[in-house]
């Protein structure tokens, strides 16, 4: 299968590493010509994951996204959601005919507050049957170090989902398959918001006792939101069946793609959302935190998207709503968390 990767940040680089190590040829879109030349010359991506050696014999690099799309049967989209439209500029519905799409995006498109599958359907006619998503818990930095990680691949066509998952399976990547294509995407969006809040709490000098209560409440809030948006199997302790091939339990809310991804994003020092939030808690403005990080924290835009989505649906999401107000309505972080203290159980 001809595989294309759109995006050249940390997560895209990690996915390219996995695919090429597994012997798959990859067509890689790198927007910046200087970055592309550096990858060719140094055999690594110096700006992102510079410890990862890349097998150039398995790579065809291009600054032209249309070339990469044309050459590929499966397209892995791994750009920050805020830059998605500009990244795909110039493409037409004809370019996407016969393609499978694997989303590695963990955010919503901010102009319409929508998941990637809705945008691709509206803009390019990509059917949901041809759309898949890959989620964590999995930090790019640990992939670089080849530490054991679990990736969940989701799609309504489980046979094709498993085939795509197998492309990434290796000694340090265990793959799981799910049909909950909407639920896992919304979970990935929400966990970034809650991780940003965990960082704010750390920056405000709250301790581990408070953080455990905060994350437990965030998990409960996330489950309620996912149920309202049609997510499946969010009841802890209930499994509908066992996989007859690998004898795994069926997925529920305690699975890695839901609760596991929330936990690692809230606790891990690799989490850019936690780092971003930590700076906000220490008194940085949003602008100053963005400049210092020089990386995209998806939870920032996602907090506004989820707040606006929820304005009409009215799920009980006091934590996510307060994170939005701190980031977008200039509520002081200490005042916001003081108010949250009274709502946690």
The predicted-structure confidence for 127-163, as pLDDT tens digits, reads as follows 999 999 999 888 899 998 999 999 999 999 999 999 9
- 183-341 belongs to which CATH class? mainly alpha
What CA–CA distance (Å, rounded) separates 150 from 143?
10
Name, in order, each residue with C-beta under 8 angstroms of 339's C-beta and a sequence gap of 6 or more: 322
Q: 20 with 55: CB under 8 angstroms?
A: yes
Res. 203 pLDDT band, cuts 50 70 90: very high
Domain pair 3-179 / 183-341, same fold: no
Which pLDDT belongs to residue 245? Answer: 55
Taking the C-alpha atoms of 45, 135, 158 and 58 in order, what is their torsion angle to the nearest 10 degrees? Answer: 10
Q: What's the pLDDT score for residue 312? A: 63
Domain 3-179 CATH assignment equals 3.40.50.720: yes
Give CA separation, 191 vs 43, 186, 202, 232, 275, in Å. Answer: 33, 9, 16, 17, 14
pLDDT for 264 equals: 92
The pLDDT of residue 34: 95
Q: What is the pLDDT of residues 92-107, one digit of tens each?
A: 999 999 999 999 998 8
> What are the contacts of 335-341 at 24+ separation with CB within 8 A?
336/200, 337/200, 337/201, 337/204, 337/206, 340/214
Give the rounded percent of residues in the chain with a pLDDT score beyond 90: 74
Q: What is the pLDDT of residue 82?
A: 86
Domain positions in the chain are: 3-179, 183-341
Instruction: Tell me the whole-structure pTM to 2 decimals.
Output: 0.90
Which of the 8 DSSP states describes residue 95? G
Which of the 8 DSSP states describes residue 251?
P
What would the mean pLDDT of 227-238 be, rounded to a whole number?
A: 65
Q: How far is CA 87 from the centre of its chain?
A: 17
Q: Report whether pLDDT(242) > 90.
A: no
Q: In what order do the strands lie in the sheet with 131-135?
A: 59-62, 26-29, 3-6, 74-77, 100-103, 131-135, 149-154, 173-178
Distance between CA atoms of 121 and 278, rounded to whole angstroms?
A: 37
Q: How confident is the model at residue 234 (pLDDT cuts 50, 70, 90)?
A: low
82 φ/ψ sector (left φ>0, alpha ψ -120 to 50, else beta) = alpha
């Amino acid at each position: 299968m001809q595989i294309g990767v759109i995006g050249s940040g940390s997560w895209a680089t990690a996915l390219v590493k996995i695919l090429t190590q597994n012997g798959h040829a990859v067509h890689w879109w790198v927007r910046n010509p200087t970055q592309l030349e550096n990858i060719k010359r140094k055999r690594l991506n110096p700006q992102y994951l510079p410890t990862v050696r890349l097998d150039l014999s398995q790579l065809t690099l291009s600054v032209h996204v249309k070339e990469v799309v044309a050459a590929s049967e499966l397209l892995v989209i791994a750009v920050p959601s805020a830059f998605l439209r500009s990244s795909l500029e110039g493409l037409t519905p004809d370019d996407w005919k016969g393609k499978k799409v694997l989303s590695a995006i963990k955010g919503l498109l901010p102009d319409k507050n929508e998941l990637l599958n809705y945008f691709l359907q509206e803009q390019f006619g990509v059917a949901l049957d041809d759309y898949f998503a890959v989620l964590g818990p999995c930090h790019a930095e640990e992939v670089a170090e080849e530490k054991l990680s679990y990736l969940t691949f989701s799609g309504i066509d489980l046979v094709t989902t498993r085939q795509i998952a197998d492309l990434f399976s290796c000694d340090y990547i265990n793959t799981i398959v799910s049909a909950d294509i909407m639920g896992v995407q919304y979970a990935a969006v929400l966990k970034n918001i809650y991780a940003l809040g965990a960082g704010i709490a750390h920056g405000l000098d709250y301790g581990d006792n408070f953080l455990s209560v905060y994350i437990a409440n965030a998990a409960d809030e996330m489950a309620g939101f996912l149920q309202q948006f049609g997510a499946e199997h969010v009841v802890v302790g209930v499994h509908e069946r066992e996989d007859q091939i690998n004898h795994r339990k069926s997925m529920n809310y305690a699975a890695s793609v839901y609760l596991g991804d929330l936990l690692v994003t809230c606790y891990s020092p690799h989490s850019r959302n936690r780092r971003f939030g930590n700076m906000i808690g220490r008194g940085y403005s949003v602008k100053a935190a963005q400049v210092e990080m020089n990386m995209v924290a998806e939870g920032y835009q996602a907090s506004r998207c989820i707040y606006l989505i929820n304005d009409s649906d009215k799920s009980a999401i006091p934590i996510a709503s307060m994170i939005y107000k701190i980031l977008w309505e200039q509520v002081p972080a200490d005042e916001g968390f003081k108010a949250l203290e009274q709502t946690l159980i």
